[in-house]
Homo-oligomer: A and B are copies of this chain.
Amino acid sequence: MSIAESAEVSAALHPGVVDLMGVLAYGELSAFDRLAQDSRTAPTLDGRAALASMAAAEMGHYHQVEAFLAERGVAVQEAMQPFIAPLDSYHEFTAPDSWLESLVKAYVGDGLAADFYREIAGALDEETGATVRAVLADTGYSAFAEQEVSAACAADPALAARLTLWGRRLLGEAVTQAQHVVARRDDLAELLITSTSGLVGFAQLFRRLQNQHTRRMRAMGLG
């Protein structure tokens, strides 16, 4: 069954919403993968358990999206398909080289995704918006990343400078991959333009995301 066919099963679901849920679901599944992998590089059992717990929380969210789509006759596997390549590329191009890079990536990536979806959620119908917001509830491990990274950077300005560049690269790569996705998915692009009241709103959205990214970097003692 193609995406178009599976979307037809549900009369209520805009194909742009199927896309939005698909990219959200694969975002969770690939974040699980990345966090689980990174948890193995943790210098302490505490750190390992913290990242493993973040990974586990992503799967909880994945199941919420899966259930939302299933109730509307859409298979999550089909909805995710178009987003596997761009999200895998993002993770491939931003493979962390150290435990602290992993933490910054987990924190920045989760925060960026949450900000983005929260902006869109307001323009979606009530149920869809509620699902998106529930899925993006803080997994509760932000404080851990903030503490670990600030503590390490306070003692080492060169490290802080390197991690600041790393944070910028993450944002740049995320924007690049997001642009690829939107350029190829007309229904999703239309949904985003509508949700943000046109192209001007879209530009403002990106500025807001950038500001929130900067705030997040500062919370870790970076930027």
Q: Mark A88-117 against chain B: 1 for CB-CB distance below 8 A, else 0.
A: 000000000000000000000000000000
Chain A facing B: main interface SS: helix
Cβ of A53 under 8 Å from chain B: yes
- Interface-side segment among A5-13, A55-63, A123-131, A156-164: A55-63
In angstroms, Cα B57 to Cα A45, docked, is: 18
Asked if B45 and A52 make an inter-chain contact with CB atoms under 8 angstroms apart, the answer reads no
Using a CB–CB cutoff of 8 Å, the interface residues on chain A facing chain B are 29, 32-33, 36-37, 39-40, 44-46, 48-49, 52-53, 55-60, 62-63, 66, 76-77, 80
Asked if A33 and B59 make an inter-chain contact with CB atoms under 8 angstroms apart, the answer reads no
- Residues on B with beta carbons closer than 8 Å to the beta carbon of A56: 32, 55-60
Asked if B53 and A55 make an inter-chain contact with CB atoms under 8 angstroms apart, the answer reads no
Q: Shortest Cβ distance from A127 into chain B, in angstroms?
A: 23
In angstroms, Cα B60 to Cα A60, docked, is: 10
- Residues on B with beta carbons closer than 8 Å to the beta carbon of A66: 49
Q: Which 5 A-B pairs have the closest CB atoms?
A: A36-B36, A56-B59, A56-B56, A45-B77, A32-B52
Asked if B45 and A39 make an inter-chain contact with CB atoms under 8 angstroms apart, the answer reads no
Q: Choose one: B36, B48, B63, B77; the contact of A55 (CB below 8 Å).
A: B36
Q: Kindly list 19 other residue pairs between chains A and B, CB separation below 8 angstroms, not including A32-B52, A33-B36.
A: A33-B40, A36-B36, A36-B37, A36-B52, A37-B37, A44-B77, A45-B77, A49-B59, A49-B76, A52-B59, A52-B62, A53-B59, A53-B62, A55-B55, A55-B56, A55-B59, A56-B56, A56-B58, A56-B60
